Amino acid sequence: MRVRLLLFCVPALLAACTKTNGPVRVDFIGGTGLTSGSQKVNFADTLTTKAYASGTDQLLKRLTITVTYKPGLAPITYPAILSSFDPKTAPPSQTITYADTLLGGLPTTDQLRGGEFLFVNRYAARATSGTETWTYTVTDAAGQATSHALTLNVRRTDSAQVYHSFPLLLRPVPTPVSHATVPARDRARTYCNLAYGLVLPPYALLNSQQSLVANQTLVDLVAVSRASGLSLEAPASAAQAQLLDASRWPVARRRVTRLRSTTLTVAEFTNAASTAAFEDAFTKGTPFTPDPLSTGPLTKDEVLAFRTADGATGLLYVVALLPGSPAAINCQVKVQK
């Protein structure tokens, strides 16, 4: 992916930002609806950060975004006696390279010989309690780099539940097109990990440098928009074979998430609160045909049962299907810890 977006009226837009002197400058733009500094947020919140970068010397060549989660993304299983919980047993910190992008064709001026660009990042906060630190690093042709970071703090009052639950909003990939050609506005919130509640865009999984391949093994489901309707599919599904380039996303890294339809009502989904309930729904559910790794067209109020490649079972309730461009699938998920 290459970024070629020029930012005009820089002084006015950066009035709320922290300035960084040097050959490479990175700032977060402040404004209504923008996350430009460290703060407390709600779990699974949808957030937008605008990062502006400029170079006074050498051409800007690379943007890298990393996210460090403390503790890691896996939900914590607490003991029956909460006071006996040892924080040292929490998942270790976890860092993900969220984007690694080569820059090209940037506009330059006499003052900004290295060029300038604006990167708009729409993302979801973590679904488990903890912090996440987003670090944006821009490097120029001489290897000079500057980083700017913000930390989000998430606290959940229901973390002691025996299962993990979270809202899930996905923007389906329009088909028949390859993921690389999907418009930027449709890229956000396309892939998800069901155990963590983590949502990723295509540019967190695919790039020309092949530096993001580790993220591919995190993906349990892909949201897809077809003429027949909106669907959810495992990366290993036959339908995804038409979309994923085997040279960039090898079959060996495509997770198998088994999906089944159920007769559960919304009330029964709400009341399901144990691994036994999730397992029972999956066992009694009906595999989708002809592909058990694809839901086919979804319907509102449908409740699905799933089992991930790691053996975790859970339920997914389709709250709403939002047509348009981009379309969206709004869900609620419950999964065993």
Look at residue 242 in the predicted model and tell me its pLDDT.
79
Look at residue 186 in the predicted model and tell me its pLDDT.
47
Neighbours of 209 (CB within 10 A): 10
CA–CA gap between residue 299 and residue 285 (Å, rounded): 16
Look at residue 84 in the predicted model and tell me its pLDDT.
78
- β-sheet with 286-287: strand ranges across: 163-170, 328-336, 313-322, 303-307, 258-261, 286-287
CA–CA gap between residue 278 and residue 333 (Å, rounded): 11
Burial 145-161 (b: 16+ CB within 10 A, else e): bbebbbebebebeeeeb
- Token pair in block for residue 263: 């007769």
CA–CA gap between residue 80 and residue 119 (Å, rounded): 45
What's the predicted TM-score (pTM) here? 0.87
CA–CA gap between residue 235 and residue 248 (Å, rounded): 13
How many percent of the chain have pLDDT more than 90? 68
Look at residue 95 in the predicted model and tell me its pLDDT.
96
- ∠ CA 308-313-317 to the nearest 5 degrees? 100
Residue ranges, the chain, pLDDT below 70: 1-21, 174-189
Look at residue 13 in the predicted model and tell me its pLDDT.
46
Domains annotated on the chain, with CATH: 1-156 (2.60.40.3880), 161-337 (no CATH)
* pLDDT tens string 164-223: 999 999 988 766 555 455 554 444 568 999 999 999 988 899 888 888 999 999 999 999
Look at residue 244 in the predicted model and tell me its pLDDT.
85
Look at residue 163 in the predicted model and tell me its pLDDT.
94
CA–CA gap between residue 200 and residue 156 (Å, rounded): 21
